[in-house]
Chains A and B, each alone.
Chain A
């Protein structure tokens, strides 16, 4: 796959950065480097046309607030690696696939279909409902949860970048 406006140096640079971030966070990339670079071309293309790295294997709406769950790494990655050995795109894989002892198989779509997808506003309401303020109101700090990897921290605000998976602040929800 080649796209206009995506140069190969950027692809290589993004590949190195992604690999390093994956390793640092305890994740593994697909061992097929060419396949990964193809996905990175898609990510960079999406960054160019939507201004965020929407999943290359899903149709983005172009509205970031509707697509936060599919900004790579997506909210579904860890569950899919756990259940299927790979994320939806097979960009991230488990140890067995990374080491070549198991092969990647198609991963069914975990994201709710269009008709069942709430907007961010509705989701924010759900988040408030889950964070039982009445029960946990006595906590000295709110607890924030990274929707990508589940990392929890207790502080006034979520961190700017998740220290585990490098997801941005906007991917955190109030947990307690």
Chain B
């Protein structure tokens, strides 16, 4: 997990792919909002690590798709949904 410093809005974890345009946009949005978050590029993980990450993604998003943004281990926003992300992590 890579950490990005910013305002603490709880535990914010972005599961992304290094090659995916919408994942990139989601990451940029979080940076622009100045939210503290962790992210991981699941495609760059190996074997068991990747499997563990996929299991976590699927727990919150059964489709296992990217980007999956998990907030406080309870809510997931799937896809680049700017409005929803701003509402969930805004002021």
Contacts A39-B21, A59-B64; A113 near B42 (Cβ below 8 A): no
Chain B residues whose CB sits within 8 angstroms of the CB of A46 once the complex forms: 19
Give Cα A42 to B81, complex, Å: 21
Q: CA separation between A35 and B21, bound complex, in Å?
A: 7
Pair B19/A1 contact, Cβ less than 8 Å: yes
Q: Which residues of A contact B79 (CB under 8 A)?
A: 106-108
For B81, list chain A residues within 8 Å (CB).
106
- B58 interface residue, CB < 8 Å from A? yes
| Known A106-B79, A114-B54; contact A58-B66, beta-carbon cutoff 8 A | yes
Knowing A58-B65, A59-B42, A106-B81, say if A114 contacts B21 (CB, 8 Å).
no
Determine the residue in chain A with the shortest Cβ distance to B42: A59
A111: which B residues are within 8 A, CB to CB?
Answer: 63
Q: Is the CB of A106 within 8 A of B19?
A: no
B interface residues, tally (CB under 8 Å): 22
Nearest chain B CB to A61 CB, angstrom units: 10
Asked whether B64 lies within 8 Å of A42 as measured between CB atoms, the reply is no
Chain B residues within 8 Å of A57, by CB:
17, 19-23, 66
Q: Nearest Cβ distance between residue A11 and chain B, in whole angstroms? A: 13
What is the distance, in angstroms, from A6's C-beta to the closest C-beta of chain B? 10
Say whether A174 faces chain B, with CB atoms less than 8 Å apart. no
Q: Is B24 an interface residue (CB 8 A)?
A: yes
> In chain B between 56 and 91, which residues have their CB closer than 8 angstroms to a CB of chain A?
58, 62-66, 78-81
A90 to B17, CA, bound (A): 16
Query: Is residue A56 within 8 Å, beta carbon to beta carbon, of the partner chain?
Result: yes
Q: Which residue on A lies nearest to B81, using beta carbons?
A: A106
A109 contacts the other chain (CB 8 A): yes
In the A-B complex, the 6 residue pairs with the smallest Cβ-Cβ separation, listed nearest first, are: A42-B19, A106-B79, A56-B19, A109-B65, A109-B63, A57-B20
19 more A-B contacts (CB under 8 A) besides A42-B21, A108-B78?
Answer: A3-B18, A41-B19, A42-B17, A42-B18, A46-B19, A56-B17, A56-B21, A57-B20, A57-B21, A57-B23, A57-B66, A58-B65, A89-B20, A106-B79, A107-B79, A109-B63, A111-B63, A113-B63, A114-B64
